[in-house]
Amino acid sequence: MKKRIAIIGAGVSGLTLAQHLKDHADVVVFEKARGVGGRMSTRYAEPFYFDHGTQFFTARSKAFQRFIAPLIASGLIAEWKGKVVTFQADNTLKDRLWFEPHYVAVPHMNSLGRHLAEGLDVRLNTEIAPLGEKHAEGWQLLGKDGTAHGMFDWVISTAPPVQTVNLLQTLLPGDSPLHQIKLQGCFTLMIGFKTPWTKPWMAAKVHEKPIEWIAVNSSKPGRNKDLTSLVVHSRNDWADEHLEDDLQQTQQTLVRQFEAVTGIACDKAEYLSMHRWKYAIVLENEKKGFHLDPERNIAATGDWASASRIEDVWLNAASLAKAIVEKIT
């Protein structure tokens, strides 16, 4: 009889785990949001679409290159090409070189999450309560609303560290890196104009300002070029300092910064909103590797376990899946 495995979180980590485990176990993925993809999400604001989390990804390892090769061939993934610049401290422009291909999912970034979710039992709008005592027959999963979701042999969390610690509670050892790791936040401005983009650049890094990144989302492959959809990310350290500030004031601050840097006025924008990511990125020097407890049959992985690059997240999830398969077969 196959083991039953519950995976908490339907981002790249959770969906990759599920795809690697589905032939070896009965897998159910629980996601508290209304859609899959996690940071590879897309904001729908017809006629505008914004990849307001992950902007692109690269492929440096042979394993990840093999994974994306058929998706490139099918058109689900494409290289994002164009001019990239840097806005220096005095707002002057300098060309910025990309030394490797930068990929996006088509027609939206969450298309990759939807692809990974195909054939899986994914239950959306379902937030799981902290685990209780383990029963002889396994872990009883309950929703935050009290709904019983069944018994599982294994529980794997791919949620951010704070949420994973809350889910697993005393099941984690006191010296687990999950207790110490902190993900930095980020604010994302989304700006839409019903006119085509006319500037020569498609993306920009910004130096020494509260904003750090500007992307012409509509310049990506498969997007509507008759409109202009802009994604503006704040600096992570700046976001951490302002995460609990009034959101409307924070949005106004970032809009003013964007206008000052680019010279683009937002008063004529047909769409303007902001998203707050409390858990956006892990510091590169904090990568720890996944957590695996084969005695209790619990595990955890995510951005915190490797790095926030999509490729690293995918590789870590694939490695954890392999380790679990060795335990259950």
Residues forming a β-bridge with 5: 27, 154
Band the pLDDT of 181: cuts 50, 70, 90.
confident
CA-nearest of 274, 175, 256, 178 to 210 is: 256
d(CA 250, CA 134): 44
**Structural domains present in the chain:** 3-328 (3.50.50.60)
Tell me, what's the pLDDT at 307? 77
Q: How far is 105 from 16, CA to CA, in rounded Å?
A: 16
Q: What is the DSSP string of 256-311?
A: HHHHHHH---STT-SEEEEEEEEEEEE-GGG----EEETTTTEEE-SGGGS-SSHH
pLDDT above 60 for 285: no
Mind spelling out the 3-state secondary structure of 189-219?
A: EEEEECCCCCCCCCEEEECCCCEEEEEEHHH
The lowest-confidence range among 57-71, 152-166, 278-292 is 278-292
In the 8-state DSSP scheme, what is residue 102?
-
107 vs 178: which has the higher pLDDT: 107
Q: Provide the pLDDT for residue 286.
A: 59
Percent pLDDT > 90 in the chain is 90
Q: Over range 256-274, report the average pLDDT.
A: 97
Which tokens is 238 given?
A: 């700046």
The mean pLDDT of the chain is: 95
| The pTM of the whole model exceeds 0.75 | yes
- Taking the C-alpha atoms of residue 221 and residue 105, their distance in angstroms, rounded to an integer, is 8
Task: Tell me which H or E stretch contains 32.
Answer: none
203-218 confidence digits (pLDDT tens)? 999 999 999 999 999 9
- Between the two ends of the chain, the Cα-to-Cα distance in Å is 11
Residue pLDDT, tens place only, 60-88: 999 999 999 999 999 999 999 999 999 99
